[in-house]
Chains A and B, each alone.
Chain A
Amino acid sequence: MYETVHARPDGTSTVSRLALTVSELGYDGLVVRCHDDAMAEYDPAALSTEFGIDVVEGVEIRADDRSAAASAITRHRSRRTIVCVHGGQHNRLACEDERVDVLAHPMADGDFNHVLARAAADNGVHVEFNFARVLRADGGERVEALRGLRRLRTLVDKYDVPYVVSADARSHLQLRAPRELFGVGATIGFTDDQVRHGLRAWGEIATRNRDRRSESFIEPGVRTGRYEEND
């Protein structure tokens, strides 16, 4: 299971501190998804060896207008393992672009409906169940977050949209162990299996994308290998 974080300067803790805490909580990996206007500098390979977890380079694209978002996707796709789009006003763009891996918090200040759900399922774009406001807000804001999650869950079930789950931590103090997220999930209407599947999906996306970026990959099902030469 993988957890995702915003590291300094996007959050308050460094990638190494987040990696240390994530490894203590029993996760297998960490996806660093700083917003593209506040990227952290770190060495994923060195941190992976140091803390014994898989550190994945990701990005969350946040742009004011559509064309800026589209060009940011093009720019980051070849450099980062996981490309997320900051949900809200660019939900449609993200769902219709198969280069996008994850549409982050689509309900935070945007809308997600059956048309987008179908597009996301067709393009293999994962939608995110973001627990941040369930864990860290209360009152009206939390009610709104819960309403969004409920609506998203209905659409995800109906159209079989791939999904991920995250607590979306901005410091090591905001990280929670998988079992605690299962507990929270159960309280707000998710099954343990759904939450587990959502946390594992990050790792599956990372593995798939690394495979695609490897040199032997040509297209799905086609790869170069070593074969005997014909005379």
Chain B
Amino acid sequence: MRHLPKHLRPRWRYLGVGLETWPDARIDRGQFQRELYYTAQNLIGDIGSTDVDLSVYAFVFDDGEGAAVVRVRRGAVERGRAVLACVDRIADQPVRVTVRGVSGTVRACEERYIRRPLESPEERTVAFENADRFAFVRDRRVAVRTDSGFAGATDFDIE
């Protein structure tokens, strides 16, 4: 099939997106894509979803930190942001999705916003709230395993 002439092709913008969750979470590209479509349908409906698009391009995820490139139609960037802000859980694991920036091409977006994942978190025992707890430590961020799931902390809270 022949390509459309350039002036008739849809124009896209690519959102560089960061993902953060607890260190034991496992998320793959398919789950993220499904959650995006699902959230978009809930928030802006089928018609809005078609207007925004929201296809996932690049996707990396490791040890609770990840990044992705999400395609949106030009002119629907703000609605794309709204949908991403409403992604609260992926495969029943709480996540934080942040938009790091917007680019005109996939390549620029990857180069600028998709950093290599930080080194793996160090697993060790820390003193947290007067008890010895098991924790994942990555630079300043600490995820402490407590009786009721993980607690978010920093080096400021542990001795």
Contacts and interface: CB of A to CB of B under 8 A. Distances in A.
Interface in B78-95: 78-82, 84-86, 88, 94-95
B82 A183 contact: yes
B34 to A, nearest CB: 14
| Interface size range on B against A | 20 to 34
Contact of A134 (B78, B84, B86, B149): B86
A180 B77 CA distance: 10
Contacts of B96: 21, 172-176
B85 A50 contact: no
A47 interface: yes
Interface in A162-196: 171-177, 179-184, 186-187
Interface of A is mostly: helix
A17 interface: yes
B151 A180 contact: no
B141 interface: yes
A53 to B, nearest CB: 13
Interface residues of A, number: 33
Interface in A46-60: 47, 50
Nearest to B140: A20
B63 interface: no
Given A180-B99, A183-B79, A187-B82, A16 B157 contact: yes
A138 B157 CA distance: 34
A8 B157 CA distance: 12
A16 B82 contact: no
A80 interface: no
Interface string A32-62: 0000000000000001001000000000000
B22 to A, nearest CB: 8
A8 B149 CA distance: 13
Given A173-B95, A180-B85, A12 B152 contact: yes
Given A183-B79, A183-B81, 16 more contacts: A12-B149, A12-B151, A16-B153, A16-B157, A17-B153, A135-B86, A136-B88, A139-B42, A171-B152, A173-B95, A174-B96, A177-B99, A180-B81, A180-B82, A182-B81, A187-B82
